[in-house]
Amino acid sequence: MTATNTITKTRANTKTSVNTQAEVTSGALVSINVAGAIIGLWSLASLVGGIVAAGGPISLVKAWFGAVAGM
């Protein structure tokens, strides 16, 4: 009787390359855009609140010029 031993070696190389710079850049871009949107909405709400408090857009402009000119 002859015994034959066969040894099979399998090697799997898996390379996963993730571009972390692109992910960080896209995350920063989203954060900056969200912050800009929040600031824009806040300024719009403040402008509308000022118009309502002044009694209209003309009154707001008059009051603003009066405040700038010191009258």
Q: Which of 62, 35, 40, 39 is nearest to 51 (CA)?
A: 62
Work out how many domains the chain is built from and give that number. 1
Residue 51 within any structural domain of the chain? yes
Q: Is the pTM of this model over 0.85?
A: no
Buried b (16+ CB within 10 A) or exposed e, 43-62: eeeeeeeeeeeeeeeeebee
Is 50 among the domain residues?
Answer: yes
Residue 8 pLDDT: 72
Question: Average pLDDT, stretch 46-68?
Answer: 94
In a domain, 58, yes or no: yes
In which band, very low, low, confident or very high, does the pLDDT at 49 lie, cut at 50, 70 and 90?
Answer: very high
Answer yes or no: is 53 within a domain.
yes
Domain housing 44: 23-69
The phi-psi region of residue 3 (left if phi > 0; otherwise alpha if psi is between -120 and 50; otherwise beta) is: beta
Residue 45 lies in a domain: yes
The answer to whether 50 touches 60, Cβ cutoff 8 Å, is yes
